[in-house]
Structure 1
Amino acid sequence: MKLVSFYSEENIENILNKRAGEIKFGEGIEIARNWESLENSKAKYVLLGIPEDIGVRANHGRDGSKTAWKEALATLCNVQKNQFTKPENVLILGEINCEDEMSHAEIIPKENPNYAEKLGSLVSEIDKKVSETIQKIIALGKFPIVIGGGHNNSYGNIKGASQALKTPINCINFDAHTDFRTLEHRHSGNGFSYAFEENVLDHYFIFGLHRNYTSQAVFDRMEELKDRVKFNLFEAIEVQGTLSFKEAMQQAETFCCDTHFGLELDMDAIEGMGSSAMTPSGFTMTQARQFTHHFAKNSNCAYVHICEGNSTYQPFAPQVAKAIAYLITDVISE
């Protein structure tokens, strides 16, 4: 099983827009040609893409998240290399090899009564690749920054991190939804459910949950598991004003950050952002940046995953890639 499609210097050179008097981020970044070069690298942060949207489609969502990784990488490589952006701290590993699964997904007829379940089987194959890759990266003492794909990939991230660290981990999810739905076929709405069921996820905190898109059954389930699953509502923070953004972050920090944790950011939590479940009401991009920077700097943070970006919502295409590039530089900045 081929886990990763590695990149070459030529791949990066082809997306650079060079300009006299400037040095671009991509000109200072390191590129892994194989696993050995990752092991030998001094870079702390490892960029990994997941070019798939099968999990979103298996959850009856809109396709398009498959392109976010390459679009974001092109934008990132063309930001400025300067004393603040620090590209020397980053290594590009490449992307999870999803070619076979994506090809198989395309030939499944949508009118097939088992369409979603068949897609779910493909998601399970991608799960294996993601978890093994994340395990390898973290076991080498590196910090994965995972971009693209549906939120189904939270499961592989959590499982891989747990296996590398040899303990269940916690997770904070910046999201309008819990993605804590029933254990049916695998899809973008139950990655955390599967991780919890397999005991690779210990404490789980949903930051800024939207009340309108959370079923009573999920609220009841979280109440049953309140010692291990907590949330705060977007409405409490931004509509009713009963909880400040800083206080909300403190709640998540208290619940999850005393041990290893993963950081998940679903772009559907950002107002007006092109995403698989785009919202007219959400956090600002600046708040998303503050959140990401704050938690990524915690010494117990094991990885960051930025997912569900979807540039098929015109005219938002350039903004999605630019937003992801901002979030990446916020993770690696001092």
Structure 2
Amino acid sequence: MKELKLYSEKHLSRYLSVRPGETKLGEKVQFCNSFEDLEKTPAKIVIFGIPEDIGVRANYGKPGTAGAWKEFLKSFLNVQENEYNSGDKILLLGEITTSELMQKAGNIDISDPNYVQKLGDLVLQLDTMVSEVVKKVILAGKFPVIIGGGHNNAYGNIKGASEAFSKPINVLNIDAHTDLRKTDYRHSGNGFSYAFKNGFLERYSVFGLHKNYTPHYIFEEMKQSENIHFNLLEELPKQGREKTFLEHLNFVRSEKFGLELDCDAIENFPSSAVSPAGLGMEEIRKLLQEVANEENCCYLHICEAMAAEYFSTGKALSYLVTDFLRHRTYA
């Protein structure tokens, strides 16, 4: 499958730090040679990465999200295998083959008057690649965990899941932004707009939205829609935020739904739109645990993270993923 670079044990050995008397997740995770093999493996969790920042650049954002996947691997593969973590339940599939698209994006002159539109054309190609992989993973009876890249990839996730289930799905998005910008060309700020437009998204709930970075026209559109639920970070109570989050979960949980986490929502997390205001890391961990055991949750996507010298991005992403998987019993 040209959309995906499949991983093997040999490929990932360079990331492993093996110690005598200890076992790491990277020594136990499963691999496959094809999607036919994927259906046969007993592992129910399938993890893959999207190393790109094309959609972020097309949205006038700061590039760098392409490196999050590698940072995640360095940490996740070295998590201890113990009574709380089991690599046997996980299949590490590989990564979307973004190298050619990334090279094309890098060759576009930023002074070109059609710079962002040309990037958007590349995002459209990426959409197809992501949606095909997500669709195949779900049709194989597995639960996809998707790491890295911009939030433009939410569209591919939603499209792939919707096609796998042959109906629109719901989405719960923990995010500082709605990503409901106009559908003029593809970028990281309109994945959900396109998902609505093309009939792949039914109900959409946004938790932790920032007042300062949501255009007026989007507020107006959300208020007029019965299929969109949102709340504002600035209006969340100091205590009892879990109750508010449960309202968002209730809005989507009756049908198949995807869980999207944009790291822009986390306070001081290195991301394409890092913010000094946001939800705390420990708070985010609890929210993911809350959703993990929902039977109708059909994928997890963590995006917009960036590597930084001052922050252990890979370790943070690993905590989020292991927290979710530890509480996931339906996969």
Name the TM tier (shorter chain): over 0.9
What are the equivalent positions in structure 2 for 1:243-254 lying under 5 Å apart? 244-254=240-250
The whole-number CA distance in structure 2 between the counterparts of 1:297 and 1:304 is 12
What are the equivalent positions in structure 2 for 1:122-137 lying under 5 Å apart? 122-137=122-137
8 Å CA contact 1:46–1:93 kept in 2: the answer is yes
The whole-number CA distance in structure 2 between the counterparts of 1:157 and 1:235 is 29
8 Å CA contact 1:32–1:94 kept in 2: the answer is no
Instruction: Give the structure 2 partner of residue 47 of structure 1.
Output: 47
Figure out how many residues of one structure are paired with residues of the other and give that number. 327
What are the equivalent positions in structure 2 for 1:277-288 lying under 5 Å apart? 277-288=273-284
The whole-number CA distance in structure 2 between the counterparts of 1:260 and 1:297 is 13
The whole-number CA distance in structure 2 between the counterparts of 1:267 and 1:37 is 33
Q: Does 1:272 align with 2:268?
A: yes
Instruction: Give the structure 2 partner of residue 302 of structure 1.
Output: 298
Q: Deviations over 1:292-330 (max 9, x none)?
A: 12112100000000000011x4322xx211111011111
What are the equivalent positions in structure 2 for 1:1-334 lying under 5 Å apart? 2-225=2-225, 227-237=226-236, 241=238, 244-311=240-307, 313-316=308-311, 319-334=312-327
The whole-number CA distance in structure 2 between the counterparts of 1:175 and 1:233 is 10
Amino acid aligned to 1:131: S
Amino acid aligned to 1:162: S
8 Å CA contact 2:195–2:201 kept in 1: the answer is yes
Q: CA deviation at 1:232?
A: 1.0
TM-score of the pair, normalised by structure 2: 0.97
8 Å CA contact 1:177–1:209 kept in 2: the answer is yes
Q: CA deviation at 1:39?
A: 1.4
Q: Deviations over 1:227-247 (max 9, x none)?
A: 101101111115xx4x73111
8 Å CA contact 1:174–1:264 kept in 2: the answer is yes
Amino acid aligned to 1:195: A
The whole-number CA distance in structure 2 between the counterparts of 1:302 and 1:38 is 17
Q: Deviations over 1:30-64 (max 9, x none)?
A: 01222222111111100010010000000000000
TM-score of the pair, normalised by structure 1: 0.96
Partner-residue secondary structure (3-state), 2:102: helix
The whole-number CA distance in structure 2 between the counterparts of 1:152 and 1:139 is 23
Instruction: Please list every run of 5 or more consecutive structure 1 residues that lacks an aligned counterpart in the other structure.
Output: none
Amino acid aligned to 1:98: T
The whole-number CA distance in structure 2 between the counterparts of 1:74 and 1:45 is 19
Greater than 4 Å deviation, 4+ residue runs: none
Percent identity at matched positions? 46
8 Å CA contact 2:174–2:262 kept in 1: the answer is yes
8 Å CA contact 2:242–2:287 kept in 1: the answer is no
Q: Deviations over 1:242-269 (max 9, x none)?
A: x731111111112100110000000011
Q: CA deviation at 1:204?
A: 0.1
Amino acid aligned to 2:277: S
The whole-number CA distance in structure 1 between the counterparts of 2:244 and 2:44 is 29
Amino acid aligned to 1:295: V
The whole-number CA distance in structure 1 between the counterparts of 2:278 and 2:320 is 17
Partner-residue secondary structure (3-state), 1:84: coil
Cα RMSD for the two superposed structures: 1.1
The whole-number CA distance in structure 2 between the counterparts of 1:215 and 1:314 is 32
Q: CA deviation at 1:127?
A: 0.1
Q: CA deviation at 1:209?
A: 0.5
